[in-house]
Amino acid sequence: MLVRFTKMHGLGNDFMVLDLVTQRVKVTPKLVKKLGDRNFGVGFDQLLIVEPPSDPDVDFRYRIFNQDGSEVENCGNGARCFAKFVRDKRLTGKSEVVVQTANGRMCLKIREDKRVEVNMGQPILQPSEIPFAADQQAITYPVEVDHQGEAETVELSAVSMGNPHGVLVVDNTETAPVETLGPVLEPHTCFPAKANIGFMQVLARNEVNLRVFERGVGETIACGTGACAAVVAGKLRGLLDMPVTVHLPGGDLEIEWQGEGHPVIMTGPATTVYEGQIFV
């Protein structure tokens, strides 16, 4: 079966996007792994699926699969690409669309400057809902780890943006132990559903550097939900004022959060790389 797809990226966080409104494909973990293989398939960080909604009050259903075949709840960089895709493919004529995700509704807006603004919803801070193993909510939590054969306690913030995140504040993202500590914290027992692990360096009250070790993927050069979680963590710690420019290895995002009870607003670019067809 020949399937049409589009390759896109948001700040280098790359996606394969499938329109399952006008074509039909049975998406299985085996197929996702096959398509995600960078040597024998198309290759991507995540596979994005556009489906008709089951809720009549939204425009589309938005589904996300990691390279390892696991389905996840949210992807901010993917959401921006999703908005551009449905407009470019004329699946909608709206500049603002509402999508149904595994974690609820999300509003996507294409601005006149071609950047996409995403209402990411309110961050989840209650440990049981993240999920995170703690008796009560706190700004930071001590977590004991075995890091390179040594017992170590790290201090992190736990935030969900529809997917779980642990955020550490570091002196320098260039020298932060992303490659060694990320794989230890991602599956840590304190995160029952695993987590994305962010390493944030505060440059000024409106500017940070960030690297993210993503759940099911490894380090990527951009993570939209990771940028949102980092800014939430930084504001809760009293380190940041709004809005915040987040410098990721792949480029910059603008994040704004006015505090508990308010949604996180993420603004950034989305880019189409190429169109293709593949037998599945």
Active-site residue identified among 81, 107, 223, 228: 223
- pLDDT of 144 > 90? The answer is yes
Q: Rounded distance, CA 10 to CA 103, Å?
A: 21
**Same structural domain, 254 and 218:** yes
What pLDDT score does 125 carry? 98
Question: Please, where are the H alpha helices in the chain?
Answer: 29-36, 76-88, 178-185, 224-236
b/e 61-72 (16+ beta carbons within 10 angstroms → b): bbbbbbbebeeb
Share of residues in the chain with pLDDT > 70 (%): 100
Tell me the backbone φ, ψ of residue 250, rounded to 5 degrees. -90, -10
**Same structural domain, 61 and 149:** no
Contacts of 87 (CB under 8 A, 6+ apart): 93, 94, 95, 110
User: In this predicted model, what pLDDT tens digit does every residue of 44-58 receive, in sequence order?
Assistant: 999 999 999 989 999
**Same structural domain, 251 and 153:** yes
Domain that holds residue 74: 2-121+269-279
> Given pLDDT bands bounded at 50, 70 and 90, which one contains residue 245?
very high
Q: Rounded distance, CA 57 to CA 99, Å?
A: 9
Residue type, 191: F
**Same structural domain, 40 and 94:** yes
**Same structural domain, 104 and 142:** no
Q: Rounded distance, CA 210 to CA 136, Å?
A: 27
**Same structural domain, 95 and 142:** no
> Given pLDDT bands bounded at 50, 70 and 90, which one contains residue 103?
confident
> Given pLDDT bands bounded at 50, 70 and 90, which one contains residue 102?
confident
**Same structural domain, 180 and 73:** no
CATH number, domain with residue 46: 3.10.310.10
User: In this predicted model, what pLDDT tens digit does every residue of 168-204 receive, in sequence order?
Assistant: 999 999 999 999 999 999 999 999 999 999 999 999 9
**Same structural domain, 114 and 132:** no
**Same structural domain, 158 and 252:** yes
228 is catalytic: no
**Same structural domain, 21 and 77:** yes
DSSP tag of 128: G
75 is catalytic: yes
For the chain, how many structural domains are there in total? 2
**Same structural domain, 41 and 164:** no
State the average pLDDT for the chain. Answer: 96
Q: What angle do CA 251, 255, 259 make, to 5 degrees?
A: 160
**Same structural domain, 143 and 247:** yes
